[in-house]
Amino acid sequence: MSTKKPVLQVKGLRVSFFTDDGEVPAVDDIDFYVREGEVLGIVGESGCGKSVTSLSVMGLIPNPPGKIVAGEIKLNGEELTSASEKRMRQIRGNDVAMIFQEPMTSLNPLFTIGSQLMDATLIHKKGNKKQAKKRAIDMLKLVGLPRAEELMNEYPHQLSGGMRQRVMIAMAMVCDPKLLIADEPTTALDVTIQAQILKLMKRLNIELNTAIMLITHDLGVVAETCERVVVMYAGKVVENGDAVDIFKDPQHPYTRGLIQSVPDMRHKKQRLYSIPGNVPRPGSIKQGCRFAARCEFAFDRCLQEDPPLYKTAEGHSTRCFLFDNQEGKVNDNRATVTS
Amino acid sequence: MTTEPLLRVENLKKHFPLRGGVLGKEIGQVKAVEGVSFTVQKGETLGIVGESGCGKSTTGRMLLRLIEPTEGDVYFEGKNVTDLSKTDLRKMRRDMQMVFQDPFASLNPRHTVEKILEEPLKVHGIGSPAERKKRVRELLEIVGLSSYHAKRYPHQFSGGQRQRIGIARALMTRPKLIIADEPVSALDVSIQSQVLNLMQDLQNEFGLTYIVIAHDLGVVRHISDRVGVMYLGKMVELTTSERLYDMPLHPYTQALLSAVPIPDPTFEKDSIVLQGDIPSPSNPPSGCTFHTRCPFKMDVCEQKVPLLQEQEEGHYVACHLYSKDGQAASQNIDKPEEVKI
């Protein structure tokens, strides 16, 4: 696994929005990578910066007010932050494609499914019209849509939500991208349809070896589809590691709280754990750990210093002073509290 | 179960007209709710689950007559709500309140929290202005906010806090029954659990009865004593939450439960992935409405509508696999007992 080289490498990425009230950092110094053919999950609650991260990779941050202030984004070794718009247009849809949450609004209602599907092939000059059409029909079949030939001449409003999301996936996969970014791809769908779409994405991942960066707030979806997980909170990566490690041995107090907050369908808990307080507004916390105000283990140092990422195991790291070896006393304390 | 239930719903139906053409003539009907019956005992929580378009929200609104039912009766403490005059209905609503899904749309942005919370008391002519103000502050504390929040406007609150205000508003008139339509689905996970805990605390403290309508099966299991599953306007299964999650009988319930992603990467489940989409309620399939997607479909399912029958004590299911018509035809078909979730 670890021998596979990364498709996407993000280092020290900082994205800010410049508003009337000054600079608001939405994503603050984050690092992560996506390996070839793997599924990486990015989890977090609203406002944690997970969508801004994905838009930065696509070069779609609205500017102004948004701007990539610092950091690098490398796709197959090519730096994207300094790439020209012309180059970005060649990359988008070809090397990296994206599907969005709202399948209703991300398809153009005025064009047929066929013409929207053929666009990508034609724009990226991967074939003539006839080849593009054949490719489009093949893709519709690949994503499991019935009557592919007829669908080519239909309009988005004639399809259900689940079918539209399949069309979106077909469109993203037309040029055989190395990386697919899926931003909350199943949030707007019903559970039985969600199960179909997740199964489809997993199948494409295995059959076509497409790496997937899955952005979601649903821990269940992450557990079911992802190999590695990045947990974000208030614009920072607070924990990352293998999915099994994250769920079996969550280390950051936020990750632990989040996992315990979810009602489990398999057995009834008497009372749910809940993290006190609210998700902070971006940019509202200037000093210390961003989670300190809601953290039950917070101590003085958390309020003053911003913790770095501590490596706690192979491929697992956590942004929390509890894992600083110099804070030995607190470490012991943690062991008793969690048991 | 011998006492008169707090709420008894009998054969509730709602057909919305579909209009078309130049003159807006009725060209068809959307059968949003098609004969739903259930009871709710005092102090219990009934969960209603289903996917979009199954009629769960329409059902919730009909109980309060926010949507007028086409057919059927709703008895609240033995009184038929559907026969009440406007004045009597308004009095009745003191005892039945609603919490809505969207905490952004359900609070008037131009009113202070105090005005929003005071409104139900004014409408029902309860208390003097001073008493009303006192009750507003009291309830803000009860739902975990502070009395100084009374002078603020909704936009100054986060989603979770707004939902607390929505709950406080529903509690103002000291109701007996609260109908909560997707109370936590617009909230973040960490906030969702705060609101669920609050709802449970309030139930214990004030002896409230809840009807919780939701699509999240985990949430419903957590909060409900009994759960009803709806599909295309019909109740297909109704039983205690333990039984429903441990031993679902209806193939739709089984598929629904197996479709929910479990937050545990090492958990192996046999998932049943249903084919196709939910049919349109304006043109529902014949017989059992689930037959187009059902893995255990028999011929009888296309012809006869299965009735909601008591299969085991307190466990109701509407499926031919368990009906007399179906038993005869199902000799050579695998029984769904073999499906483990």
Interface of A with B in 293-332 (CB under 8 A): none
Residue A319, pLDDT > 90, answer: yes
Residue B185, pLDDT > 90, answer: no
pLDDT tens, position by position, B268-312 = 777 788 887 788 888 888 899 999 999 888 889 998 899 999 988
Cβ-based burial of A12 (10 A; exposed 0-12, middle 13-18, buried ≥19): exposed
Mutation pick from A147, A186, A262 vs chain B, by most beta carbons of B within 10 Å, is A262
In chain A, which residues have their Cβ closer than 8 Å to the Cβ of B163? none
pLDDT at position B8 is 94
Does residue B317 contact residue B307 with C-beta atoms inside 8 Å? no
Asked whether the beta carbons of residue B190 and residue A258 sit closer than 8 angstroms, the reply is: yes
> Is A203 at the interface with chain B, CB within 8 A?
no
DSSP line for B146-177: -GGGGGS-GGGS-HHHHHHHHHHHHHTT--SE
Q: Which of B270, B341, B277, B264 lies closest to A225, judged by CA?
A: B264
Residue B323, pLDDT > 90, answer: no
pLDDT at position A24 is 87
- Chain B nearest C-alpha distance from A123 (Å): 33
pLDDT at position A3 is 61
Does residue A181 contact residue A213 with C-beta atoms inside 8 Å? yes
Torsion of CA A299, A303, A306, A311, to 10 degrees: 10
Residue B126 region by backbone torsions, left for phi larger than 0, else alpha for psi between -120 and 50, else beta: beta
Residue A278, pLDDT > 50, answer: yes
Mean pLDDT (whole number) for A184-189: 85
pLDDT at position A338 is 40
Residue B184, pLDDT > 80, answer: yes
pLDDT at position B132 is 92
| Cα distance between residue A90 and residue B125, in whole Å | 67
Name the residue facing A223 among B160, B215, B265 (closest C-beta).
Answer: B265
DSSP code at position B217: H
The CATH number of A6-95+177-338 is: 3.40.50.300
The side-by-side arrangement of strands in the sheet containing B71-76 is B25-40, B7-20, B71-76, B79-80
| Cα distance between residue B58 and residue B75, in whole Å | 17
Within chain A, which residue ranges are assigned CATH 3.40.50.300? 6-95+177-338
Asked whether the beta carbons of residue A262 and residue B190 sit closer than 8 angstroms, the reply is: no
- Count CB-CB contacts under 10 A for residue B65: 17
Asked whether the beta carbons of residue A192 and residue B274 sit closer than 8 angstroms, the reply is: yes
In chain A, which residues have their Cβ closer than 8 Å to the Cβ of B161? 278
pLDDT at position B330 is 55
Mean pLDDT (whole number) for B32-45: 93
Of all residues in chain B, the percent with pLDDT exceeding 70 is 95
pLDDT tens, position by position, B144-180 = 888 888 999 998 888 888 999 999 999 999 999 999 9
Residue A331, pLDDT > 70, answer: no
Tell me the longest C-alpha to C-alpha distance in chain A. Answer: 70
Residue A318, pLDDT > 90, answer: yes
Q: How far out from the chain centre does Cα A119 lie?
A: 26
Cα–Cα separations (whole angstroms), residue B4 to A310, B45, B310: 61, 16, 19
Return the structure tokens found at A90.
């060649």
ipTM: 0.80
pLDDT at position B210 is 95
Residue A244, pLDDT > 90, answer: yes
Name the residue facing A195 among B216, B263, B271 (closest C-beta).
Answer: B271
Bond preceding residue A65 cis, omega within 30 of 0: yes
| Cα distance between residue A58 and residue A70, in whole Å | 16
Mean pLDDT (whole number) for A76-83: 89
Does residue A209 contact residue A189 with C-beta atoms inside 8 Å? no
Mutation pick from B49, B52, B189, B222 vs chain A, by most beta carbons of A within 10 Å, is B189
pLDDT tens, position by position, A197-224 = 899 999 999 999 999 999 999 999 999 9
pLDDT at position B2 is 55
Q: Which of A90, A59, A16 lies closest to A282, judged by CA?
A: A16
Asked whether the beta carbons of residue B265 and residue A224 sit closer than 8 angstroms, the reply is: yes
Of all residues in chain A, the percent with pLDDT exceeding 90 is 39
pLDDT at position B328 is 64
Of all residues in chain B, the percent with pLDDT exceeding 90 is 53
Tell me the longest C-alpha to C-alpha distance in chain B. Answer: 72
Mean pLDDT (whole number) for B73-84: 92
pLDDT tens, position by position, A12-69 = 999 999 988 888 888 989 999 999 999 999 998 888 888 899 999 998 888 888 889 9
Residue A330, pLDDT > 60, answer: no
Asked whether the beta carbons of residue B222 and residue A272 sit closer than 8 angstroms, the reply is: yes
Provide the residue count of chain A.
339
Q: Does domain B7-95+175-338 correspond to CATH entry 3.40.50.300?
A: yes
Does residue B232 contact residue B52 with C-beta atoms inside 8 Å? no
Alpha-carbon torsion (B317, B321, B326, B328), positive or negative? negative
Residue B227, pLDDT > 50, answer: yes
In chain A, which residues have their Cβ closer than 8 Å to the Cβ of B245? 265-266
Cα–Cα separations (whole angstroms), residue A198 to A139, A182, A190, B104: 17, 11, 12, 30
∠ at Cα B38 (B32, B42), nearest 5°?
Answer: 130
Give bridge partners of residue A230 from the DSSP assignment: A42, A240
Return the structure tokens found at B298.
């028999």
**Residues sharing a CB contact under 8 Å with residue A337, sequence separation 6 or more, in sequence order:** A296, A297
Cβ-based burial of B104 (10 A; exposed 0-12, middle 13-18, buried ≥19): middle
Q: For residue B123, what is the enclosing H or E element?
A: helix B113-123
Torsion of CA B48, B54, B58, B59, to 10 degrees: -40
- Count CB-CB contacts under 10 A for residue B310: 12
| Cα distance between residue A172 and residue A170, in whole Å | 5
Does residue B210 contact residue B223 with C-beta atoms inside 8 Å? yes
Return the structure tokens found at A70.
């610092």
Mutation pick from B57, B190, B198, B219 vs chain A, by most beta carbons of A within 10 Å, is B190
**Residues sharing a CB contact under 8 Å with residue A326, sequence separation 6 or more, in sequence order:** none
Residue B201, pLDDT > 70, answer: yes
pLDDT tens, position by position, A133-167 = 999 999 998 888 888 888 999 999 888 888 888 89
Q: Which of A234, A232, A120, A229 lies closest to A167, judged by CA?
A: A120
pLDDT at position A211 is 94
Q: How far out from the chain centre does Cα B179 lie?
A: 7
DSSP code at position A45: -
Alpha-carbon torsion (B75, B80, B82, B86), positive or negative? negative
Q: Which of B147, B225, B91, B277 lies closest to A268, judged by CA?
A: B225
Residue A283, pLDDT > 80, answer: no
Give bridge partners of residue B289 from the DSSP assignment: none
